[in-house]
Chains A and B, each alone.
Chain A
Amino acid sequence: GQQVMQIPQYQHVQEGEDFTTYCNSSTTLSNIQWYKQRPGGHPVFLIQLVKSGEVKKQKRLTFQFGEAKKNSSLHITATQTTDVGTYFCAVNTNAGKSTFGDGTTLTVKP
Chain B
Amino acid sequence: EPEVTQTPSHQVTQMGQEVILRCVPISNHLYFYWYRQILGQKVEFLVSFYNNEISEKSEIFDDQFSVERPDGSNFTLKIRSTKLEDSAMYFCASSEYIGPVNYGYTFGSGTRLTVV
Which of B11-19, B63-71, B73-81, B103-111 makes up part of the contact surface?
B103-111
Size class of the A contact interface (CB-based, 8 Å): 20 to 34
Note all chain B residues with C-beta closer than 8 A to A55: none
- Checking A41, A47, A100 against B44 with a beta-carbon cut-off of 8 angstroms, the contacting residue is A100
Note all chain B residues with C-beta closer than 8 A to A90: 43
Quote the shortest CB–CB distance from A102 to chain B (angstroms): 5
A37 to B102 alpha-carbon distance, docked (Å): 19
Q: Name A's B-contacting residues (CB within 8 A).
A: 30-31, 33, 35, 37, 41-48, 50, 88, 90, 92-103
Contact, CB under 8 Å: B104 / A102: no
Which residue of the partner chain B has the closest CB to A100?
B43
Contact, CB under 8 Å: A43 / B100: no
Note all chain B residues with C-beta closer than 8 A to A94: 98-100
Contact, CB under 8 Å: A97 / B105: no
Size class of the B contact interface (CB-based, 8 Å): 20 to 34
Contact, CB under 8 Å: A31 / B101: yes
B87 CB-CB contact with A under 8 Å: no
- Closest 4 CB pairs between A and B? A45-B104, A96-B48, A95-B56, A31-B100
- Checking A44, A47, A98, A103 against B45 with a beta-carbon cut-off of 8 angstroms, the contacting residue is A98
Q: Given A42-B109, A42-B110, A88-B42, verify A96-B55 contact (CB < 8 Å).
A: yes
Note all chain A residues with C-beta closer than 8 A to B110: 42
Contact, CB under 8 Å: B55 / A95: yes
A6 to B107 alpha-carbon distance, docked (Å): 21
B27 CB-CB contact with A under 8 Å: no
Contact, CB under 8 Å: A92 / B100: yes
Contact, CB under 8 Å: B91 / A42: yes
- Checking B45, B58, B104 against A33 with a beta-carbon cut-off of 8 angstroms, the contacting residue is B104
